Structure 1
Amino acid sequence: MPKTQTPVLATLGRILDMGIELHHLRGFLILAEECHFTRAADRLGLSQPSLSRNIRRLEEQLGVRLLARTTRHVELAPAGQRLYEQLADLLPRLEKALQPDRSGEVLRLGFTWGFPATWAHAAMSEFEQATGVRVDPVRRDERLAGLDHGDADVAIVRGRVDTRTARVIPLTEEPRIMAVAADHPLTVRRSVAWSDLPELPLVINTVSGTTQLTEWPAERRPVASAICSNFDEWLEAVAAGRGAGVVPSSIASSHMHPTVVFIPLTGAPPTTVQLVVPRQGAHPLSGRFVIAAQRAVAEHVRRRPARHAN
């Protein structure tokens, strides 16, 4: 073991090497205090048979009888008394040692644009309250929002994700809408069909955009009238009349522009919103954030069933 390891953690290592788990020790300690299986099981939130199995497992691992059982109550055998006296001091110290100080710890949440405040802020709040670790949103104009460069621990990514180095966890879907300049002829339309888009010049965000030309068959593919590398360039190109653009519907409310009009699309495939987590070297609490995000999305959808989470 490392020389810097504390005696308490060194003891924990020896315990685990013996195949003994902390819940076995905690169960014995409570049973020794209560001298009654039913009362001890109630305190531990276990069934009496489960507690009995844990105590039997502990005795087998130690190779000694810890209890002198009678028909009326439980008494400690000599070996049990010695173990109790040591555990009464050691176990609280072990449990305290296993409660890390997370002050200053941060989980970096990557995104490219259009931060989904409705559910993401709820997920951040739940995660921070449960773990004591702060979540910092980090914007990166990259396909995986900085995840592949080590700038983010978890990333919110819209659209297709093709990577073998990360886990992709779908959360929800968003409908797509079309964006055009305010003086575009299509602004008089109430909606535009997805099948009509190949007839229009499109502004494409090739880095973090959710709509690429490859979504149409090669023989019927729109012309890219402008190529951009981030969302802000894309928005200004649309505003300048370089062509139409396609984005998730949440952008209409979160990124207002005085000279851009958003038009509903019919027949368009939805955009998937997902979390992406590295397969190797992931933040120890990234799984906890994924669970918080899944709950937040489910709650948002439950409260607003007629609308997609964004």
Structure 2
Amino acid sequence: MNVDLRHLRCFLAVAEEGGFTAAGRRLHLAQPTLTRTIKSLEESLGVQLFERNTRRTELTDKGEKLWQNLGPLLGQLDRTLRDLREGEKLRVGFSWGLPEGLSRLAARFAEETGVGVEFLRCDIPQAGLDTGQVHLGLLRGSQLPKNLRSFFLYEEPRIAAVPASWELAGRTELDWAELAGLPLIINTVSGTTFPDMWPAGRRPVVGAECRNYDEWLEQVAAGLGVGTAPISTARRYTHPSVHLVPLTGAPAVRTHLAYPSHGAHPQAAHFVDHAWRAADELQT
């Protein structure tokens, strides 16, 4: 018999709601679609399940029998499928600056799906996606690896990080073009600011290189150069020897969630959809 769960769940909804209109609202299905599904089920079974007229829809004897037996079976199936998710974890990698609202989103996702979310700091280029440590990665920048499916969440302005001992630390703002004349601290692994972002012939020299955000902040504090970072991240991770100066004319920093193009966790796309819909609240 060509019967699947979709047919059975539609039948159960019509039986319990006592009609196609109410069942359609419950299932978020148009009534003609629901009617075709029930007709297909009756044809596959070879029996009539409902008596229909202009005023009401009633179960036939065969429909009544199916209803009485089907409810407990589908209930048991749903419980079994939910139990399979118990203890399942979706791992999300990041290198620095986890958006403040992402933990709230993760809690809602776990409540809805039964799948927990863990955040892992991975100071490697793809935040753990390239090594298989995580299922999803929070990545920043405009050039992302081609082996990933990436989804844009939001963008935010940059702020300049200046050694407190420098005269520039007293400025009320800096322009992006001014940084070309200063040594630049480069995070070679997960940074978002590099000399080639300035015009050729007017690019900053590299004051120092590092491999993570903490090293970047310490090298700025040590007076080896200036740096830039997304404004929300820089304000969360401060240092007494680093001053944050508003920056004008700078390109925005784009933030994405990404997962492998092949072999992704079954819940990865679902989590990305949640994040995309809640992008406005992720930084609050």
Q: Shorter chain as normaliser: what TM range?
A: 0.7 to 0.9
Change (3 A) 1:85 1:231: closer
Structure 1 segment 46-195 matched on structure 2, within 5 A: 49-67=32-50, 80=63, 83-84=66-67, 86-117=69-100, 119-195=101-177
Secondary structure of the corresponding residue to residue 250 of structure 1: helix
**What is the SS of the residue equivalent to 2:73?**
helix
What is the deviation of 1:30? 5.0
Q: Is the 8 A contact 1:157 1:274 kept in 2?
A: yes
Give percent identity, aligned residues only: 47
Verify the 8 A CA contact 2:153 2:256 in the aligned structure 1.
yes
Instruction: Please list every run of 5 or more consecutive structure 1 residues that lacks an aligned counterpart in the other structure.
Output: 1-14, 301-308
Aligned equivalent of 1:243, options 225, 228, 244: 225
User: C-alpha displacement at 1:166, in angstroms?
Assistant: 1.1
- Checking the alignment, whether the CA contact within 8 Å between 1:123 and 1:295 is kept in structure 2 is no
TM-score computed with the length of structure 1 as normaliser: 0.80
Consecutive unaligned residues of structure 2, counting only runs of 5 or more, are none
The secondary structure found in structure 2 opposite 1:264 is strand
Does the C-alpha gap of structure 1 residues 37 and 223 become closer, same or farther in structure 2, counting only changes over 3 Å?
Answer: closer
For the pair 1:279 / 2:243, whether they are aligned, the reply is no
Alignment partners' CA distance in 2, 1:49 and 1:62: 20
User: Once the two structures are superposed, what CA deviation does each residue of 1:202-232 show, in whole Å capped at 9, x if it has no partner?
Assistant: 1111111111122123322211011111112
Name the SS of the counterpart of 2:203 in structure 1. coil
Identify which of 143, 159, 182 aligns with 1:200: 182
- The equivalent residue for 1:11 is none
- 2: CA distance, partners of 1:250 / 1:73: 59
Contact in 1 for aligned 2:82/2:114 (Cα 8 Å): no
CA deviation map 1:226-254 (0-9, x unaligned): 11111121111111111111111123321
Q: Output the CA distance in 1 between the equivalents of 2:252 and 2:67.
A: 61
The amino acid that maps onto 1:280 is H
**Counterparts of 2:281 and 2:104, CA distance in 1:** 10
How big is the alpha-carbon RMSD for the aligned residues of Structure 1 and Structure 2?
2.7
Q: Using a 3 Å threshold, how does the CA distance of structure 1 residues 54 and 112 change in structure 2: closer, same or farther?
A: same
Deviation at 1:169, TM superposition (A): 0.9
Give the corresponding residue for 1:266.
248
Shift of 1:94: 3.1
Q: Distance in 2 between matches of 1:264 and 1:279?
A: 38
CA shift in 2, pair 1:124/1:141, >3 Å:
same
State yes or no: 1:255 paired with 2:233: no
TM-score using structure 2 length: 0.87
**Are the aligned partners of 1:127 and 1:288 in contact in 2 as well (CA < 8 Å)?**
no
Shift of 1:110: 0.6
Q: 2:4 aligns with which of 21, 24, 32?
A: 21
Q: Tell whether the 8 Å contact from 2:90 to 2:118 is kept in structure 1 after alignment.
A: yes
Q: How far 1:140 sits from its partner (Å)?
A: 0.7
- Whether 1:220 and 2:202 are equivalent positions in the alignment is yes
